Structure 1
Amino acid sequence: MKLSDFDFDLPESLIATRPARPRTAARLLVAEGDAIRDLHVRDLVTLLRPGDRLILNDTRVIPARLEGTRRRLTGQGEAVARIEVTLAEPLPGGGWSALVRPLRKLRAGEEIVFAAGLAARVRRIAEGRAELDFNLAGEAFDAALARAGTMPLPPYIAALRKPDARDLEDYQTVFAERTGAVAAPTASLHFDEALLAALARRGIAFSRVTLHVGAGTFLPVKVEDVTRHRMHAEWGEITEAAAAEINATRAAGGRIIPVGTTALRLIESAASQKGRVAPWRGPTDIFIYPGYAFRVTDGLMTNFHLPRSTLMMLVAALMGTERIRRIYAHAIAGRYRFLSYGDASLLIPERRKPT
């Protein structure tokens, strides 16, 4: 299986730099069986069936992008230079692993000073990242980060414009609760309170799980043989109550439909070969590509992904490689908006036999 199998031409003009307003006005490509329909997210109320269960990722994105100054003592005094830091993931025992620009001039022991009284000392440089120890912790750190940081927009958006105040709301789901992500579960950005309420009245149930999306979600695949790619690990949790809800829905014949690839990867990590989901707490580095046997997922709501990405491999595993190529060709021809702030798809493969 080659990386080139998941390639396609994505016009830059289709990369969304702002979300649809209202959120539910985003377009929704519905692919079920061989049919493709062009609808809108608000149409989920008529598309889903009573008894279906949506799996929502309730992670909260932190304003992980910081601009500061690097301070170093030299023979001529103190040297000061501007530096950009994007927090990537917390480290065991405190501190953060971070992406830093420019990294090559940074040295262990140097201090980086940010706004709002926030500062960090460089612990070490390793594997293309800096490990930072901050001067604040707990609620004091969170409060300072909220004042000093901006939303960590994906690289393909940040290359086209700078983050601003609108992103504080736009790049956060309405049900975000548990702080820890440095990227949003973007399919969930299409929901608002009114749509959630309408779905509930229709008889669609919800279960909340947590997967703290890391910066590694944007890392490119660098091996031609995709089976040799190693996924980054992300921390997640499925509570005992959420696992019981999912299992009860399956037993009753309802469909399990994750909202986003993050929720899908988490429930598949926690599912047995027979499709029973157990409570889960810890890291997962599950890599889903064609040939994977889905255990609990009956469908997926997701945005449109980058070519040659692990997310393209995941949707190809769900729908079939040739089928997903046709779906994406339809989306490009129809001028669907791609990536984190773009439009959505509802992918329903042929019904799997119950296990």
Structure 2
Amino acid sequence: MIEVVNVSKTFDDGKRRVEAVKDVFLKVEKGEIYGVIGYSGAGKSTLVRCINLLEKPNKGKILFKGEDLTLLKERDLRNRRKKIGMIFQHFSLFNSRNVYQNIAYPLRGAKLSKEDERKKVLELLELVGLKDKEKSYISQLSGGQKQRVGIARALANDPEILLCDEATSALDPKTTKSILSLLKELRAKLGLTIILITHEMAVIKEICDRVSVMEDGKIVEDGTTVKLFSRPENNATREFLNLASNRSRIYETLNLKENIFNIKSGDVLARVSYLGESTGDALISRVSKKYNLDVSILYGSIEILGNTPVGEFIILFHGERACIQKSINYFREKGLIVEVLDHGRDTVKIHTKCS
């Protein structure tokens, strides 16, 4: 559906040169909800503006259904853009116009009769759950309602792709969840392909099929959402995961001088990741009994990503070194991922390569 091929974008005002996007490759299939995540300044928003040519890349191609948008004349590009809708973090609505007028705005020049235009706008209001807000002004709406108007406006020309640039960042958690649910419904009803730019890992977990992680203008890791959450390979991805969970609090606590977990020299601290059916097995209890170990759970979580359960525990092993090694081997035989963590108290060095 959309391919970003070797795209770079540099801003240069003569005094300062900023490489915002560097040699990015990205392929989004029809019907996917694809996330791009990164910290502020990573290049996410510039990338999404390159996709619809609001920013023209200095290098590379933007292929929409096989056609390179960077080669089109302005008139042809305007026509193609009608099939690429966009919603924004701060809504970008006209405060001087009511809801109906905001949604109808992209239809100017579509040569619709007044009757057809009204029919279209009312259909969109129904679609986004605002059929009673037709005559309301933007100042009278909540943040979630404003974003729904923004979504309806973006859908006015029946786009095939919807670009969402930090579309939930200005919303509270409850409203964010309702907007993400709406986007999933629209994907199902309209067959939309959605590219979602965000710095919120919770948004990626809630809605995305696949995801790319951006850092310093580059994509440093990509894959399915399940893969990134269960087997992150890049440090930037791990940082996001740590900050999105209470796991970071555990690491902070381990670095304190006070030994509140009563960790002894020779104990082994490990991160154990589960995937799929193994999340339902009592494996920790099993190894504790099988190898006569004391196993403490310091942190644990199980989430459903798509239809796949993903679990993670940070556990502390206390017992004989050989038995700890056997328990780790047992976990890995069952398909779990085990990574020994340094707790700063003479961690026993056990060979546990992550797979």
Per the TM superposition, whether the score is higher than 0.5 is: no
| TM-score, normalising length: structure 2 | 0.29
Higher relative contact order (CA 8 A, sep 6+): 1
